[in-house]
Amino acid sequence: MKKVLIVTLALVLAASCAMAAAVDLSAYSDDELRALKSDIETELMSRAAAAAAEGGAIVEGDIKDAHVALTGVRKSEDYEKNDCAVLSYTWTNNDDEAAMFSMAVGVTVYQDGVELESAFGLKNANTGDTIKKIKPGATLAVENGFKLTSDSPLEIEIKGLWDWGTNPATLTVTVPCP
C-alpha cells in the first residue's frame, strides 16, 4: 500500500511540476500568490495528515546514523497544563554501537517562525524511551513534546544531533497544529 501511495504521489508531483513549468505566474498579484502559496501548504499538510492516519509516516528518511520516521503529532498537556504537541517517531540505530534517540537525533520545532521549548511531564506520552539505548540495527518507537505557543502550523526539522557538516541530512515537514 505504501509503495502504491509513493508511486501515485510521485506521478502527481511529476505532473504538477510539468504543469507548473508551463504556468506564467507574473500575471498574479502578490496577494494572489500568497493565497496560492497558503492553499498549497494547506493541501500538503492535509496529505501528510492523511498518510499518518493510514498508518504511514508523515516524513521519514536517513539522517547521520539513524533512520527516522515521524509517525504522528497529537495534542497533550504538560504537568503545568500548558498545551503541547507530542511527536511520535520510530527510529532505527544505523551506527556501529548502541545509541539513544536523545543523543543521536535532533528535533527542532518552530511555530510562527520561533523555536518551541521542549515539554516535560506530558500526559499520555512515553517520553522515557528517548533515553533508552538500542543496539545497531534495532528499532524503537519514541515520543517527545514541545510547548505550543499558538494554533499555527508546526515546522518540524529532524537531523543527526551531532551532524554539523555543511549540508547535514535534514527531514523537514510542516503539519497542522494538533
Which residue type sits at 121? G
Whole-angstrom Cα distance, residue 42 to residue 174?
Answer: 9
Angle at 117 between CA 114 and CA 122, to 5 degrees: 140
Rg of the chain taking only CA atoms, in angstroms: 18
Pair 120, 78: CB distance under 8 Å:
yes
Q: Which domains does the chain have, with CATH numbers?
A: 2-53 (no CATH), 59-175 (2.60.40.1240)
Average pLDDT over residues 10-32: 63
User: What are the residues whose beta carbons fall under 8 Å from the beta carbon of 103, sequence distance 6 or more?
Assistant: 161
3-state secondary structure of 98: coil
Share of the chain above pLDDT 70, in %: 74
Q: Provide the pLDDT confidence category of residue 24 given band limits of 50, 70 and 90.
A: confident
Whole-angstrom Cα distance, residue 69 to residue 51?
Answer: 12
Which triple of cell numbers denotes residue 10? 510521485
pLDDT in tens, 44-101: 655 655 555 566 778 888 988 899 999 989 999 999 999 999 999 999 999 999 999 9
The helices-and-strands tally (H runs, E runs) of the chain is 3, 11
Q: Is the pTM of this model over 0.85?
A: no
Q: Provide the pLDDT confidence category of residue 1 given band limits of 50, 70 and 90.
A: very low
Pair 173, 48: CB distance under 8 Å:
yes
